[in-house]
């Protein structure tokens, strides 16, 4: 991944008969018809398995009045999932040659995230991170192998860049062992230090030679993963509502939560996709910030689903927390999602103060809904829906009127 890049010559995926092994050379940044591959979609779906496990454990922690500890564990585990996903995504955008070895190594990374997912419950309940660490190391060593392939196929600044990536990622894996051997009270601080170190590897590696990632492909990959995470949120909330109805016959009590949650998720999808971000990425020199900021987008989107489950459990008497805390489990990640999406790309497409204030104001109002008791989730959903309506209305009013054919400026 890079903050700027010189467009490389077009180098589309080879057509016709595919050789088992090919040089792992850079693809063209101006390549036409660059879209997500079936392997990338499969990769995303397997990663969401780990996200679902993290969400389940977050629900248990919050429902048992251990919100602080649960959020910390969630942040740590989610970083491992997101960082491995993000590194693969930007690497694949620049170097996917779809040969047999590339596919096998990618499947190895999928195996790693499944190992990580299997260890998430132990990480939350017993602070035992060994399985999480093993899964993470499998994914990262597989990426090191890919970068070494790039180094072998290149020369000059590109080869140095690939070797810096391989060396930096490898050194970080040694540091992560501290999560297993250090005392528990030191681990959160060690995690923070290692996370910062990991995020320094890409800008360090690409200081001389940026990778040729494809703006449209990157925007699509991030968008697809957002859709998958929101879909997992809907699935988790639906199962929670169904369980509440089957076990407690509480349909009337759960309807406001179900309706509010659905409105929140629909609005979250609408707000994310209302702007054509690939054009912004093509010219923006802060692509690192945009890519890194999606840690909060993905984590908060997944946390909305966990919060809806908590709200359901509190309503049917299975969670030992107050109504205020249950509402906050939904409203806080919703507000964080709205604000982060605005900060990362929506604000760049706004014209005037009215448009700029739509999402920040909505985030504030959603937080205020926390204090509305049993109706907090539904109120947050209504605010989210009204945010979309307000944005579309402002957009229509500010759009050029030339024969009704001018392109409108998205707002929400």
Same-domain check for residues 289 and 147: no
Same-domain check for residues 306 and 202: no
Residue-level pLDDT, tens digit, the chain, 412 residues: 444 444 444 444 444 456 677 888 888 877 888 889 999 999 999 999 999 999 999 999 999 989 999 999 999 999 999 999 999 999 999 998 888 999 999 999 999 999 999 999 999 998 899 999 999 999 999 999 999 999 999 889 999 999 999 999 999 999 999 888 899 889 999 999 999 999 999 999 988 888 888 888 998 999 999 999 999 999 888 888 888 888 777 788 888 999 999 999 999 999 998 877 776 776 546 778 888 999 999 999 999 999 999 999 998 888 889 999 999 999 999 999 999 998 887 676 666 687 778 889 999 999 999 999 889 999 999 999 999 998 888 777 766 544 444 444 444 4
Same-domain check for residues 204 and 319: no
Same-domain check for residues 284 and 381: yes
Same-domain check for residues 177 and 225: no
Which of 172, 191, 212 is the last residue in one of the domains? 212
- Bin 399: left if φ > 0, else alpha if -120 < ψ < 50, else beta: beta
Domain-embedded: residue 410? no
Domain-embedded: residue 7? no
Which of 212, 246, 276 is the last residue in one of the domains? 212
Number of domains in the chain: 2
Domain-embedded: residue 31? no
pLDDT digits (tens, 9 = 90+) for 223-278: 999 999 999 999 888 888 888 888 777 788 888 999 999 999 999 999 998 877 77
Question: Reduced to 3 DSSP states, what percent helix, strand and coil does the chain have, rounded to the nearest 5?
Answer: 75, 0, 25
Same-domain check for residues 378 and 275: yes
Domain-embedded: residue 302? yes
DSSP label at residue 272: H
**C-alpha–C-alpha distance, residues 203 and 288, integer Å:** 8
Question: What's residue 249's pLDDT?
Answer: 75
Q: Are 27 and 88 in contact (CB under 8 A)?
A: no
Same-domain check for residues 238 and 188: no
Domain-embedded: residue 16? no
Which of 148, 181, 212 is the last residue in one of the domains? 212
Same-domain check for residues 362 and 240: yes
The CATH code of the domain that includes 246 is: 1.20.1410
DSSP SS3 for 62: helix
Same-domain check for residues 149 and 202: yes
Domain-embedded: residue 22? no
Domain membership of residue 308 as a residue range: 216-404
Domain-embedded: residue 26? no
Domain-embedded: residue 195? yes
Same-domain check for residues 263 and 184: no
């Amino acid at each position: 991944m890079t903050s700027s890049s010189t467009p490389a010559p077009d180098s589309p995926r080879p057509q016709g008969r595919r050789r088992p092994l090919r040089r792992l050379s850079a693809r063209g940044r101006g390549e036409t018809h660059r879209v997500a591959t079936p392997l990338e979609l499969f990769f995303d779906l397997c990663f969401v398995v780990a996200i679902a496990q993290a969400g389940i454990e977050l629900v248990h922690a919050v429902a048992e009045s251990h919100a602080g500890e649960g959020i910390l564990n969630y942040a740590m585990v989610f970083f491992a999932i997101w960082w491995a996903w993000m590194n693969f995504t930007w690497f694949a955008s620049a170097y996917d040659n779809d040969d047999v070895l590339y596919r096998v190594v990618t499947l190895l990374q999928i195996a790693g995230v499944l190992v990580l997912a299997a260890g998430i419950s132990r990480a939350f309940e017993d602070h035992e991170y060994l399985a999480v660490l093993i899964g993470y190391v499998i994914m990262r060593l597989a990426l090191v192998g890919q970068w070494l392939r790039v180094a072998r196929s290149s020369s000059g600044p590109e080869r140095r860049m690939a070797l810096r990536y391989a060396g930096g990622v490898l050194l970080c894996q040694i540091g992560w062992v501290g999560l297993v051997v250090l005392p528990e009270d030191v681990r959160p601080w060690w995690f923070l230090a290692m996370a910062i170190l990991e995020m320094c590897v890409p800008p360090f590696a690409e200081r001389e030679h940026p990778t040729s990632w494809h703006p449209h492909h990157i925007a699509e990959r991030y968008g697809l993963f957002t859709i998958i995470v929101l879909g997992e949120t809907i699935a988790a909330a639906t199962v929670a509502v169904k369980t509440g109805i089957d076990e407690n016959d509480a349909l009337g009590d759960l309807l406001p939560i179900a309706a509010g949650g659905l409105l929140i998720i629909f609005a979250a999808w609408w707000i994310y996709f209302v702007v054509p971000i690939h054009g912004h990425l093509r010219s923006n020199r802060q692509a690192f910030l945009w890519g890194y900021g999606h840690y909060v987008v993905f984590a908060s989107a997944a946390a909305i689903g966990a919060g809806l489950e908590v709200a359901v459990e509190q309503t049917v008497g299975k969670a030992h927390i107050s109504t205020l805390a249950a509402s906050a489990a939904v409203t806080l990640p919703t507000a964080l999602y709205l604000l982060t999406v605005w900060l990362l790309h929506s604000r760049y497409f706004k014209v005037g103060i009215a448009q700029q204030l739509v999402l920040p104001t909505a985030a504030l109002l959603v937080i205020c809904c926390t204090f509305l008791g049993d109706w907090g989730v539904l109120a947050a959903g209504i605010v989210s829906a009204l945010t979309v309506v307000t944005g579309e209305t402002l957009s229509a009013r500010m759009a050029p009127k030339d024969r009704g054919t001018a392109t409108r400026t998205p707002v929400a």
